[in-house]
Amino acid sequence: CARSSKHCDGWIMPNIYGCDSAKKGLAFVSLPNVSIWIPCPKTRNFLNILEFYFLECNKIFCDALFIEDVLFVRNYKATLELAQVFGVVCLSFKLRNIPVFSVGNTVWKKDIVGSGKADKETIKQFVATSSYFSLPVDITDDIADAGCIALWGNMRMNKNG
């Protein structure tokens, strides 16, 4: 049972959020026009990440969360931090019995934009011109990614539901 279903292009859309994590923070988007940016905490040790993001994520209510898999980056410390954030986000939603699904970046890019190797500008252009979104024109790369992840999640939920 969806907490707040919406109608869009013939779909009954549950309140699904897409999430993209980055070094600077977390981006959440729910179609067509809700976007949330949570900047990372000043001190980035695991306990601060856990407390900060756990509290912030608990303010977001949805029927399901789709989150991008952790990407390996050359810097070990950055990869570790992204993995910690991923774990905290998943935990904060799972503990509230909200389903969490992860998706690889090449998978959602191929299905949504048409190329698994789509660059940031191509993704932002897609979001700016797509009828699925009513987001501001000057969105960040992370908000654009989260929006596409939300769209991918909505398509999966409608396909299987």
Q: How confident is the model at residue 135 (pLDDT cuts 50, 70, 90)?
A: confident
119 vs 2, more confident: 119
Q: Residue 98 in 3-state DSSP? A: coil
- 149 close to 108: Cβ distance less than 8 angstroms: yes
Sheet containing 16-22, strands listed edge to edge, beginning at the edge strand earlier in sequence: 34-39, 25-30, 16-22, 64-68, 100-103
| Beta bridge pairs of residue 96 | none
Strand-strand pairing, 100-103 and 64-68: parallel
- Quick one: pLDDT at residue 5? 45
Closest to 86 (Cα-Cα) out of 116, 110, 107, 65: 65
Q: Which segment, 42-51, 66-75, 96-105, is predicted with the most confidence on average?
A: 96-105
Q: How many CA atoms lie within 13 A of 26 on its CB side?
A: 29
1-20 pLDDT tens trace? 234 444 444 445 579 999 99
Residue 63's identity, in one-letter code, is D
Q: What is the mean pLDDT of the chain?
A: 88
Q: Is the pLDDT of residue 130 over 60?
A: yes
Q: Which own/partner contact pairs does 54-58 have at CB distance under 8 Å and 24+ positions apart?
A: 54/88, 54/91, 54/92, 56/26, 57/26, 57/88, 57/89, 57/92, 57/93, 58/92, 58/96
- The residues pairing with 142 across neighbouring beta strands, listed in sequence order, are none
